[in-house]
Amino acid sequence: MSGVLELVREDLRDFAGYASARSVTAAGPLRLDANESAWSSAADPAGSCVRYPDPQPDALVQALAALYGCGPERLVVGRGSDEAIDLLVRALCRPGRDAVAITPPVFGMYAVAVRLHAARLLEVPLVEIAGGFEVEFDRLAQVALEGGARLVFLCSPGNPTGNALALERVAMLADALQGRALVVVDEAYAEFSRAPSATALLDAHANIAVLRTLSKAHALAGARIGTVIADPGLARVLRRCQAPYPVPAPCAELAVAALQPDVLARTARQIATVRAERARMATRIAALGCVTRVYPSEGNFLLVRFSDAGAAFERLLQAGIVVRDQRAAPSLGDALRITIGTPEQNDRVLQALGAPATEAP
């Protein structure tokens, strides 16, 4: 048994999961094995959804493996990063015994999954420095070891902070937790960053897993396509812990279409626009009298502190603009997170916040 599989709950290491019709039977021209309807729906005359989908659609798995530069045996495709987070906590943490370490302020679904699976939550808050926020890696390793963590969630670029993590520090953390915990790097916003992906660490560190999604840069949030990239043995365990048919056929087809070369070229141009607009918005917002700080960001958003965040939030709402209120997050009682939109949308944000209509000469 590989070292990382020893982190899996003992009762799930040999768990077979549900053997769906699509996972155990051969293909044939007449399929009467899954109790599906013999007729297509009037709403789906082509019959594209009359059959259960492949649990891990091969065309999508191959396209994602090419996109992320890894072997398909490492991939688990599911319903967004949210399902991936849930699967990892479910498979590794024994309820009431094991813990999960996080670095708040950070994506709230980590703590939600921990609560739902009755694990313990360990928090090592980010430290604010001149350049933004940073993870206290040494402290995180100590807390994880002493607290019995089976999982450590990192977010790079961070949500809502926007900070990217140095791979050498992630690798050092994985070394410190070897045989004790899995280090999960959530890269939902990686396409907007120039930092290298933690997938580069997987061959040398079996106790690292990476989360990716098509929801952000690839503009498919409604399709709910997320991926865990992990040790092949761990990936097999996670697939067995999934619901029988996690990827609806229309969503898989849409995702494969989005990963064709011509669409990827358009996506790359949109990412370049986001980066340029992120820089422009950071400069313009920082010049506003109501703003006390704009944090550097490697994501498609900016974290902004205001002298009166509540008033700024209301001004934006009155202009028909909804941003993410961060005031309930640890240490962010005066902050809002603003997604980078189109240039025209960004101009509306600036106008609502009281910026001049044009840049000063």
CA dist., res. 340 & res. 299, Å (int): 9
Residue 112 DSSP SS3: helix
Closest by Cα among 183, 127, 126 to 150: 183
Give the pLDDT of residue 17: 86
Give the pLDDT of residue 360: 41
Closest by Cα among 266, 243, 235, 271 to 55: 243
Q: Which residues of the chain have pLDDT under 50?
A: 1, 360-361
CA distances 343 to 28, 279, 281, 298, 339, Å, are 52, 12, 9, 18, 12
Q: Which CATH architecture fits 3-20+55-259?
A: 3-Layer(aba) Sandwich (3.40)
Give me the residue spans of the domains in the chain: 3-20+55-259, 268-352
Across 84-229, the runs of DSSP E, i.e. the strands, are 99-102, 120-123, 127-129, 132-134, 149-155, 182-186, 208-213, 226-229
Give the pLDDT of residue 25: 65
Give the pLDDT of residue 23: 73
Give the pLDDT of residue 237: 96
Question: How many angstroms from the chain centroid is the CA of residue 345?
Answer: 25
Give the pLDDT of residue 3: 85
- What residues contact residue 26 under an 8 Å CB cut-off, 6+ apart? none
Give the pLDDT of residue 21: 75
Statement: 268-352 belongs to CATH 3.90.1150.10:
yes
